[in-house]
Amino acid sequence: MASQVNGGEIDSHTLSRTTVTTTVAGTAYDVDEDHFRAWYNKDTDRRAEDQKEWKDTSIDWRRRYWLKIERPKIELIAEMSKSQDKPVFLCGTTPNDNDGWDLFDEVISLSISNEKTVKRLASRTNNDYGKHPDDLKDILGWNETTDERMASYGAIIVNAEQPLGSVVDRGHSGHVTDRGNE
C-alpha cells in the first residue's frame, strides 16, 4: 500500500509534513529531501542541468523553473511497497504531483489556513522559500485552491490544525489527505 502525503512544515501548533514523515507507521520518503522531484524549465519543459537546492535558488530562478515530480522514481517505491507488510508514504507536493497518483492507494492532503501558512513561513529557519513577497503571493494563491484541486483528484482533505494524533490516526485508517505548502 502506498500513500502520498502532500504538505509542508507548519508552526508548532499545526501538523507538519516533517512530523508526519517521522510519525507514520511505515516507510516515509520526502519529495524534497529524498529527491523525487527535479527542476524543469517552465517554457521548454526540459529538465534543468543544474539541479539546485531550494536554498540556492533566487526568485528569478523560480520564475523560470518549477519542480516536477519524477514518475520513474515514484514507480520504484510503489513497486517496493508491494513487497512490504507496511505502507510506504511519499510526503510533499509539486505542481504535477497528480501525474503519479495512480501509483498510490490513497492521497492524503493536510490543509491549513492562509493565516497559519503566513505564520509558518515567517518563522521558518530551514530555508527562505516563502519569505520573498512574490513567493508568498504564489503560495497563498495555491493555498486558496488546493483543497478543491486535491478533492477533485480524489484526495481526502484533513485539517492539519488539529492535534497530531488525530491526523495521523485518520491517515492510518485511510481517511487522510495531506496538503500544505512547500
Fold observed for domain 2-34+70-172: Rossmann fold (3.40.50)
For 90-123, how does the pLDDT look when each residue is reduced to its tens digit (9 = 90+)? 777 788 878 888 888 888 888 889 998 899 888 8
Q: Average pLDDT of 10-38?
A: 59
Dist. CA 80–CA 179, nearest whole Å: 24
pLDDT at 4 (0 to 100): 47
The 10s digit of each residue's pLDDT in 161-172 is 877 667 666 555
Distances (CA, A) of 1 to 12, 75, 78, 143: 30, 13, 8, 28
pTM: 0.69
Identify the residue with better confidence: 164 or 13. Answer: 164
Bridge partners of 158, per DSSP, are 110
pLDDT mean across residues, the chain: 75
Pairing mode of beta strands 65-69, 37-41: antiparallel
pLDDT of 23 above 50: yes
- 92 contacts 18 by C-beta, under 8 angstroms: no
Count Cα atoms within 13 angstroms, Cβ side, for 131: 12
Residues 71-96: tens digit of each pLDDT: 998 888 888 777 776 677 777 778 88
